Amino acid sequence: MSLSAVLSSATSGLNAAQTGLRAVSDNIANVNTPGYVRKVINQSQLVVDGQGMGVSVTGIQRVADRYLQSASLTATADSSRWDVYSKFLDNAQSLFGDPSGTGFFFNRLDDIYANFASAADDPSSSLLRTQAVSNVQDFLGESDRINTQITQLGTAVDAQINDGVARANDLLGQINKLNADISRTRLTSGDPSGSENIQSQLVDELSGLINVRVSARPNGGVTVRSPEGVMLAGDAAAKLTYVKTNGALGYLAATPVGVPGAAQAIKVDGGELGGLLDLRNDRLPALSDQLGEYTARAAVTLNAAHNASTAFPAPTSLTGNDIGLDLPTAISGFTGQTTVAIVNAAGVVQRKVAFDFDAQTMSVDGGAATAFTPANFLTQLNTGLGGAGSATFTGGKLSIAATGTNGVAIDEGTSDKAGRAFSHFFGLNDLIRSSGFTTYETGLKAADNHGFTPGDQITLSLAQPDGRPIRDVVVTVPAAPLMSDLLASLNNNSTGVGVYGQFALDANGALSFTGSPPLNATLSVTSDHTQRGVGGPSISSLFGLGAQERSTRADRLSIDPALAADPTRLAFGKLDLSVAAGTPAIRPGDGQGALALAGAGDVPTLFQASGSLGQVTMTLASYGAEFGGSIGRDAAAADTRKSSSAAVATEATARRQSVEGVNLDEELVRLTTYQQAFNASARMIQASKELFDTLLGMI
């Protein structure tokens, strides 16, 4: 080997050792720097004409494990998701109070029933009546408060999603910019590890916001994609947007830079944003829906008992709620018998009109039966009342009034439609009034007229369970008049939802949508311009379609203002039509109505599917226990998943750190090795110099 070759070999070894020493020095200096990944140098032998000519440093490489990084990112996304989900769900649970405390929301009905039971023993006590009204008001007020705060939690979730999306966009922009820096550095054989470490930390932070797939680029840097493969960063950074159309589920969309209008919905089932979207789209609306179902059914059972009772003296008039139907349609489908009575101030019956809905006949004061139809029901009722009273139907409300100082009392008898008796169906003597629809058993049958204005339109949004949109469907109310025709339009495969699911009308007239596999689509109402009759309800409000309609039910209920102002008007008695003529059918001191109100919680009640519970028939107490228990179970399950996912994330990070982190003992070995190599190369250079000097001296 020539002296030049020896000198070249020694010089390359010296340079390689210096590069190695710098790498080791950086590793040791950053031993406690979060996110720092140790680096090593890559060396290869220099060979010229088959002879070794030293060593070459081909690059500086971070000791990163792609598998462990992927596992760590997945674990971090899962941990972040359940962390934020658990926090918000814990806040939601706390709104209902301490289950072991007296102020627990689901214990409030027990106080109501207990107070009515006490009032049954002393119906004339104004104090007990006032307390009964106060307890009902407190229950409804507490339900309203909880629902309002759940809505506020939803607003906070929306704000946090917007903040998270803004931060994710910032991270994607930085990650993409570093790709260019890393590529340039590699092309010039520089050390890109600093930029790569920064990029790795940004990717780690991004995985805490959304779950992503990360892959290495051939020329350096990384490509970031959504779980289904949409590119978020690589050649260019996409812009994320939070889309929340009116009434529809929220989702994230990615728009490639320079491609306006090409926004694509992406799957987000991990990270903080994944947990927030779960809360926003599913859990919080379900909680409001179930709270509305519970409160509405409590009102239904109390109203059923109150409508089956009467006050003493009987009220001079009874006015119902807006039932959303025309009177002939409302009367059609009733079964059993009911009696409308006009009584004087002493409770003696002055006139009674009995209806047999099965036979469609009416009799006055026990006289001969005459036929009636749903179309002439109101006329026949007024004919039967004669000069003793009158009935009107305006704006969806039935009213019956007595003349003079007389009062109106109703015997519900065996009447029934959609699970409610005559007075209860129309809400003539409701204890709790509603500013909108809170139950959706309309009583409509497939053969009934739907009553909606032909040509009106409702826009339905179909989405996947995670919120990603499938398509919007605009359904036009058909000219054909029957409910079966409306169902056919809704379920049409081309202009309706038929490809993705089906609407069905149950025996009580409740309309529901069920998504078909494999998509199992969910349905929201984006806009609804339909109307039943003039000034009547829309399809979505009458049938309770969409989370937006159902989640506000708990806010619509309040005690009847007349009863709140005068608790002596509470219906604590019963109309007894079996008494002899001239004997009071309503008596002061009668507590049968109060007893019925006290026992309302023990009446089996049909609850529609809402929240985490399907359609069930049970008592309010049982449903309250199930509801309260499900909230606690969900919060506990979320906390368990939070702890489990945090443990997995910690373990994944620890394993990744054990490979990528700096070990001082290992670095000391490398430091010693490079120092010795440096010294050896230096001695070879010194020896070469001495040989050159000797040769020059000889010359």
48-53: list long-range contacts, CB under 8 Å, 24+ apart. Answer: 51/1, 51/5, 52/9, 53/5, 53/8, 53/9, 53/12
112: left (phi over 0), alpha (psi -120 to 50) or beta: alpha
Confidence of residue 544 (pLDDT cuts 50, 70, 90): very high
Q: Mean pLDDT throughout 49-66?
A: 72
Contact criterion met (CB below 8 Å) for 249 and 274: no
Please give the residue that has the higher pLDDT: either 101 or 342. 342
Q: Is residue 308 scored above 70 in pLDDT? A: yes
CB atoms within 10 A of CB 621: 15
pLDDT digits (tens, 9 = 90+) for 453-499: 999 999 999 999 888 999 999 999 999 999 999 999 999 999 999 99
Confidence of residue 662 (pLDDT cuts 50, 70, 90): confident
Res 258: pLDDT: 66
Res 441: pLDDT: 96
Among 30-34, 56-60, 338-342, 674-678, name the one with the lowest average pLDDT: 56-60
Among 51-65, 282-296, 304-318, name the one with the lowest average pLDDT: 51-65
Q: For residue 176, which of 100, 103, 239 has the smallest C-alpha distance? A: 239
How far is 389 from 569, CA to CA, in rounded Å?
Answer: 20
CB atoms within 10 A of CB 395: 9
How far is 151 from 92, CA to CA, in rounded Å?
Answer: 10
pLDDT digits (tens, 9 = 90+) for 604-644: 999 999 988 889 999 999 999 999 999 988 888 988 988 88
Res 1: pLDDT: 55
Eight-state DSSP code of residue 552: T
Confidence of residue 27 (pLDDT cuts 50, 70, 90): confident
pLDDT digits (tens, 9 = 90+) for 102-148: 789 999 999 999 999 999 999 989 999 999 999 999 999 999 999 99
Res 675: pLDDT: 84
Q: Give the mean pLDDT of the chain.
A: 91
Instruction: Write the single-letter amino acid at 506.
Output: D
Non-local (6+) Cβ contacts of 488 within 8 A are 478
pLDDT digits (tens, 9 = 90+) for 342-392: 999 999 999 999 999 999 999 999 999 999 999 999 999 999 999 999 999
Q: Is residue 6 scored above 90 in pLDDT? A: no
Q: Is residue 195 scored above 90 in pLDDT? A: no
pLDDT digits (tens, 9 = 90+) for 250-294: 999 999 876 666 789 999 999 999 999 999 999 999 999 999 999
Beta-sheet strand order (sheet of 231-233): 213-216, 222-225, 231-233
How far is 616 from 476, CA to CA, in rounded Å?
Answer: 33
Q: For residue 539, which of 616, 621, 460, 624 has the smallest C-alpha distance? A: 460
* The pair of three-digit structure tokens given for residue 490, joined into one six-digit string: 């809704």
Distances (CA, A) of 418 to 114, 415, 444, 658: 29, 10, 9, 67
Percent of the chain with pLDDT over 70: 98
Please give the residue that has the higher pLDDT: either 181 or 47. 181
Q: Mean pLDDT throughout 394-410?
A: 96
Q: Is residue 42 scored above 80 in pLDDT? A: no
Contact criterion met (CB below 8 Å) for 223 and 233: yes
Q: Is residue 696 scored above 90 in pLDDT? A: no
